Structure 1
């Protein structure tokens, strides 16, 4: 298996797979250039930590993959600086907005799509429970696979539901990028996965290697890398999880 994942910051990753470099959920703004997250207790502007690489890092990418359109996954800097000719893969609901931002090659993935020897399988998800899910809009995850790579599941901002449980059970992804910041809105609504969900994933897909991200970058995320590490140690699963630092490169 030849797979490289460079964790940039928050949910932003650079993935090298089948010789192609794919930028996932780009939030490229400098500290404080984005507003506070709506419907939270924090009035702090975002992001709260700097980008660990220079913007020219993203000049030679082959594609962009967007799980959804919230500003901490597709921000104003990304919309401005990224090459508008690069293909963008997304959920169908987001195609119109991405095109309105000037991107000329936007490919919605309804179920599956093929590109340069890479298969994209979209897994529809929920950002929260109940009415909050409607407020936050649609979210998706994507399983990327090739003839040489068993599978990489980019879960996105999806809470752990029966549908995700079935996806993990069916596909048994070799590597999973999981957003686990325990992001929280007013009235206590949790809108991402949390440490206990990592345990759920490993129960149904025990051979998966998890890359836990989306921490220490946005004001409404209540879980830190240190918190997660301590939790995983206490539950004897730390060996199954990588918690990368901003800018860290991981090779599988």
Structure 2
């Protein structure tokens, strides 16, 4: 069976696996419809870039996967237009909010869950260090797999930690989607992965195909696609990660 990831924008993707379309972290607002990111140095409204597909594109989904509910991963537009009866898989801390928002088919993934011939395993993450981690709240990654198709690890808004390193060592995922915009809060606190983390993971799990996303669309993200391409090229690592454009489909 074919596995594909269509990168929509920011952290929003559509994973096609086992003939199912799974919408990941839907932020569907038009340019400037969302506020600036709080506790950052930028006062620009978000998103900075338009959706590359029409809104009716999202009518043809089989499920939704949410790593956490910050507004650049689940916004009011997504809540208003998405089919509320679709299976929605999330971390435990987001269940009550999603049910209050009207989603009627919420599945909490404590450890792992099976659906439609697909296994989803949650891997706890950490959005930042110290007090910033408490401010930002819980985040998770998800390892999505089938025996025939292999595994796709959506790492989520997680900084590189020993636990993430162990997840790569233990699982050796076939594909990993990394949020690598070097997003910053006030005082320079880094709250996502960075270009240097791509190098670490490429060395740690060389068979894993890496896909770098979450760039160019949100105002507190300091590292753009062009910066990442130049960074990798300068180190002779231009093939270490796929850096998709908005709307681009990657087939594996």
Q: Distance in 1 between matches of 2:23 and 2:208?
A: 22
Within a 5 Å distance, the mapping from 1:76-91 to structure 2 comes to: 76-91=76-91
Alpha-carbon shift at residue 237 of structure 1 (Å): 2.0
Q: Secondary structure at the match of 1:15?
A: strand
Q: Distance in 2 between matches of 1:232 and 1:191?
A: 21
Q: Distance in 2 between matches of 1:108 and 1:149?
A: 24
Q: Does 1:232 align with 2:235?
A: no
Question: Is contact 2:120–2:142 with CA below 8 Å preserved after alignment?
Answer: yes
Within a 5 Å distance, the mapping from 1:1-252 to structure 2 comes to: 2-252=2-252
Alpha-carbon shift at residue 2 of structure 1 (Å): 1.7
Q: Deviations over 1:182-235 (max 9, x none)?
A: 000000100000000001111211111111000000000000100000111122
Question: Is contact 1:208–1:240 with CA below 8 Å preserved after alignment?
Answer: no
Q: Distance in 2 between matches of 1:127 and 1:70?
A: 11
Q: Distance in 1 between matches of 2:110 and 2:142?
A: 11
Q: Secondary structure at the match of 1:178?
A: strand
Aligned residues: 252
Q: Which runs of 4+ in 1 moved over 4 A?
A: none
Alpha-carbon shift at residue 150 of structure 1 (Å): 1.7
Question: Is contact 2:39–2:185 with CA below 8 Å preserved after alignment?
Answer: yes
Q: TM-score, normalised by structure 2?
A: 0.99
Question: Is contact 2:157–2:179 with CA below 8 Å preserved after alignment?
Answer: yes
Q: Secondary structure at the match of 1:187?
A: helix
Q: Deviations over 1:83-130 (max 9, x none)?
A: 010000000110010111100000010001000010001000000001
